[in-house]
């Protein structure tokens, strides 16, 4: 492991700053997510989730267009600061609208919740991939994930207490100061240890972003991998939403229970994240990427055999914990050898579009199952996605191995 004494002053500032940013921003999301999901389920029910996911997919297209025009010529952590501040302002507007019972506010809140976090997370990892060498990334990325989970645990445990002490809607006000702090931290980090983009100063168009993706086989495989994993995880989320809606009809109690489930996810994630460095060193990135869908598939089979609330909660914990720990670190390492356009513009299309457009695709699948009156097939569709996940991972490992042999 590369010790702290080998890091320059700028590198130390970046690493400490990034660790602080991921803690604060995931603490904000840990409060926003349970409260938003609880309010949405109370107002519209789980049956409305597919439509909400379609809206998120459209919103992602608009957001990634703006992001790509900005990221090529602006320091990434400066963008992080500005987006945090804008997200805080938007949330204040939505909360004021909720207080006045304006129509559509729960839909707007759900859309805001899914879009703000994916932008901030992708900015974070794009900056990390541009500044952290691969030998250090295997250790430091695990640390970033740990601190993010600690922030998440603080938020997930706190949101239940705030919701039951006040209300679910009032708990969302706690997100605003966290976003303000994250915004100020991002702007400060850009000033002291930022990195100017290598791309052209003129603003790239949407077609330029697609051109980066079109010319990179690695990005296409990564897009297929991420999309498939997110479809599988979203299918598990949907089944969990139905179960928790049925078991906990009271909104504030439901918020607390959702927070506890996500706190469990953070606890399992931290355990895996602490071991990320040794695991990646011992097993290597290719084997880790293969093991994750295999283990998740076992959890989904467990729910298929025992269709109880505890079983689907366990499957949700497993799906999210792997996504937030080993899968995140291993996947991000795959971006490091790529060019700057691939790590920024291309990565934005792969990650932002895949993560959120996958929810849109999943919603169409679920609407189709409902139309066929076969929602019971959801679990088998989940298992099919896990199988596809394994196959794409093998193809990606083969491509990475070929690229390494060609470069040696």
Give Cβ neighbours of residue 163 (< 8 Å, ≥ 6 apart): 34, 35, 38, 170, 171, 252, 255, 256, 259
User: Lowest-confidence range among 59-73, 175-189, 217-231, 254-268?
Assistant: 59-73
Specify the higher pLDDT residue, 63 or 177. Answer: 177
pLDDT at 72 over 70: no
pLDDT level of residue 199 (50, 70, 90 thresholds): very low
Q: Residue 335 gets which letter from DSSP? A: T
The Cα 295–Cα 15 span in angstroms is 31
User: Lowest-confidence range among 27-41, 87-101, 163-177, 356-370?
Assistant: 356-370
**What's the half-sphere exposure (Cβ side, CA atoms, 13 Å) at 46?**
19
pTM: 0.66
pLDDT at 220 over 50: yes
* Start-to-end C-alpha separation, the chain: 23
pLDDT digits (tens, 9 = 90+) for 51-63: 887 787 778 777 7
**Inter-residue long-range contacts of 84-87, CB under 8 Å, 24+ positions, other chains counted:** 84/25, 84/120, 84/179, 84/180, 84/182, 84/183, 84/186, 85/179, 85/180, 85/183, 87/112, 87/116, 87/120, 87/179
Angle between helices 276-283 and 326-333 (to 10 degrees): 60
pLDDT level of residue 197 (50, 70, 90 thresholds): very low
Specify the higher pLDDT residue, 70 or 175. Answer: 175
Q: How confident is the model at residue 256, as a pLDDT?
A: 82
Going from the C-alpha of 371 to that of each of 96, 133, 258, 366, the distances in angstroms are 37, 50, 29, 9
Could you give the percent of the chain with pLDDT greater than 90?
A: 8
């Amino acid at each position: 492991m590369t010790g702290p004494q080998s890091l320059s002053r700028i590198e130390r500032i970046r690493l400490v700053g990034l660790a602080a940013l991921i803690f604060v921003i995931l603490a904000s999301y840990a409060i926003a997510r349970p409260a938003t999901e609880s309010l949405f389920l109370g107002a519209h029910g789980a049956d409305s989730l597919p439509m909400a996911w379609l809206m998120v997919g459209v919103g992602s297209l608009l957001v990634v267009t703006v992001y790509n025009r900005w990221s090529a010529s602006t320091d990434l952590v400066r963008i992080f600061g500005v987006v945090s501040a804008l997200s805080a302002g938007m949330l204040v507007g939505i909360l004021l609208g909720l207080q006045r019972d304006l129509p559509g506010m729960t839909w707007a809140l759900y859309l805001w919740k899914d879009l703000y976090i994916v932008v901030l997370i992708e900015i974070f990892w794009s900056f990390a991939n541009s500044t952290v060498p691969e030998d250090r990334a295997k250790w430091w990325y695990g640390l970033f994930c740990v601190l993010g989970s600690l922030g998440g645990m603080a938020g997930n445990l706190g949101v239940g207490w705030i919701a039951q002490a006040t209300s679910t809607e009032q708990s969302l006000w706690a997100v605003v100061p966290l976003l303000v702090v994250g915004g100020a931290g991002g702007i400060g980090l850009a000033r002291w240890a930022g990195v100017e983009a290598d791309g052209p100063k003129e603003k790239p168009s949407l077609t330029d972003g697609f051109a980066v993706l079109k010319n990179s086989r690695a990005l296409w495989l990564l897009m297929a991998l991420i999309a498939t994993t997110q479809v599988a995880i979203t299918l598990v989320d949907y089944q969990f939403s139905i179960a928790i809606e049925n078991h906990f009809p009271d909104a504030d109690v439901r918020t607390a229970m959702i927070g506890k489930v996500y706190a469990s996810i953070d606890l399992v994630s931290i355990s895996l994240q602490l071991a990320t460095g040794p695991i990646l060193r011992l097993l290597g990135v290719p084997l880790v990427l293969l093991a994750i869908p295999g283990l998740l598939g076992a959890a989904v089979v467990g729910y298929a055999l025992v269709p109880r609330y505890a079983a689907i909660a366990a499957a949700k914990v497993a799906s999210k914990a792997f996504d937030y720990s080993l899968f995140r670190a291993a996947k991000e390492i795959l971006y490091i050898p790529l060019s700057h356009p691939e790590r920024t513009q291309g990565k934005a299309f792969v990650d932002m579009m895949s993560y959120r457009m996958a929810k849109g695709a999943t919603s169409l699948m679920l609407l189709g199952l409902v139309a066929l009156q076969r929602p019971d097939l959801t679990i088998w569709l989940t298992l099919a996605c896990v199988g596809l996940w394994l196959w794409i991972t093998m193809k990606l490992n083969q491509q990475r191995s070929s690229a390494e042999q060609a470069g040696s």
